A = this chain, B = another copy of it.
Amino acid sequence: MATEYPDRYTGPTVAEIGEHATIRAILDAAPSHRNGDDAAVLPMPNPNTRTVVTTDMLVEGRHFRLDWSRAAEIGHKAVVQNFADIEAMGARPVAVVLALSAPGHTPVDFITELARGIGERVADYSADLAGGDLTGGEHLVVSVSAIGHLGGSMPALTLDGARPGQAVVAAGRIGYSAAGLALLRRYGRDDVPAEFTELVRAHLIPATAPGRGVIARAAGASSMTDNSDGLITDLETLARRSGVGIDLAGVAIAPDELLTAAGRHLGIDPWTWVLTGGEDHTLMGTTSKDAPSGFRVIGAVHRNRPGTGPAVTVDSEPPAHSTGWDSFPRRVPSP
């Protein structure tokens, strides 16, 4: 299926102006003095700083749809999901590089808008779009890698640092992105009822508060991840890697008024969005201390009793919904 670009992108195509002119247009849209050499040299870190790196690939039709997302929004989202992984280590995002595969008929203004979206979002973090690679391909594939700095000698916030007795904390919405996706599926981009705009926006441009990961590490958090594949799925990973169990407080994660209204409107149980939705990129971690600034308590860590039940419960019961995102969902034969 060939990539179809909305009519809004009207200028010449990449094939018409060529690779080098397109790269110049990208550099104009997201200027950085670090960009344009064989590799980008990042700023000198403070002494005693380690580098943190992650990567995430967005494929058209799987991670975004061109009839739903503007190019700049795809750029924003690519940054957010990468930087959430940097912040989930307790590190400070510093730069991204962009590798882009695009068909020859891709409008150049689509690509420059994508780069502008990336440039805007990295600027929110005082970071840089530091370099990239542009190549032809039958499909639009956006691959972003992010670099962060982890200062000082305190350990990174890894998945294996949760300990029994700690509180589970989170900073940000849970379930909003999935609700927005459900609304887009029902209505498309332009016909979603105005009262639910915030949910659609949460899906297209997930909001994050830069710096929460660094704050959590400084405040003594011991483990962290982000809600990318689904609340239960991601916390199960954290619990399993830490060898602990997690019990979430239903009242702390319950769908709020907006999610409840959207659920009623669509005839969908909003708990599915909260428990399995993912893509909120909300930071979630554990701590023996007070919740770090901007975080709230959503549960508690307890000793794991292997074989006695799920690693993550809600009010001590197995969660009503638990299947998160899988890039290759297994085809289980029906009984």
- Listed in ascending order, the chain A residues whose CB lies under 8 Å from chain B are 1, 14-20, 22, 36-45, 47-48, 50-57, 59, 62-63, 84-86, 88-89, 91, 94-95, 97-101, 104, 130-139, 141, 143, 145-148, 150, 156, 158-159, 224-226, 326-331
Complex contact B44–A50 (CB within 8 A): yes
What would 21 A/B residue contacts be, using CB atoms closer than 8 Å?
A15-B331, A36-B159, A37-B156, A38-B225, A39-B85, A39-B146, A41-B91, A51-B51, A53-B97, A53-B130, A55-B97, A57-B99, A57-B133, A99-B99, A99-B143, A134-B327, A137-B139, A141-B141, A141-B143, A143-B143, A147-B147
Give the most central of A17, A62, A88, A327: most B CB within 10 Å. Answer: A327
- Supply 7 further A-B pairs (C-beta < 8 A) apart from A19-B327, A38-B159: A37-B89, A39-B85, A41-B51, A41-B150, A53-B130, A57-B101, A59-B101
Known contacts A62-B136, A141-B137; is A54 also within 8 Å of B101 by CB? no
Complex contact B98–A18 (CB within 8 A): no
Alpha-carbon gap, A143 to B98, bound state (A): 10
Specify which chain B residues have a CB less than 8 angstroms from the CB of A14 in the assembled complex: 328
Alpha-carbon gap, A60 to B331, bound state (A): 26
Specify which chain B residues have a CB less than 8 angstroms from the CB of A86 in the assembled complex: 38-39
Complex contact A15–B52 (CB within 8 A): no
Specify which chain B residues have a CB less than 8 angstroms from the CB of A146 in the assembled complex: 39
A328 touches which of B15, B39, B44 (Cβ 8 Å): B15
CB nearest to A325 among chain B residues: B19
Known contacts A45-B51, A131-B54; is A136 also within 8 Å of B20 by CB? no
A179 to chain B, nearest CB (A): 23
Alpha-carbon gap, A132 to B326, bound state (A): 15
A286 to chain B, nearest CB (A): 14
Alpha-carbon gap, A234 to B97, bound state (A): 21
Complex contact B97–A38 (CB within 8 A): no
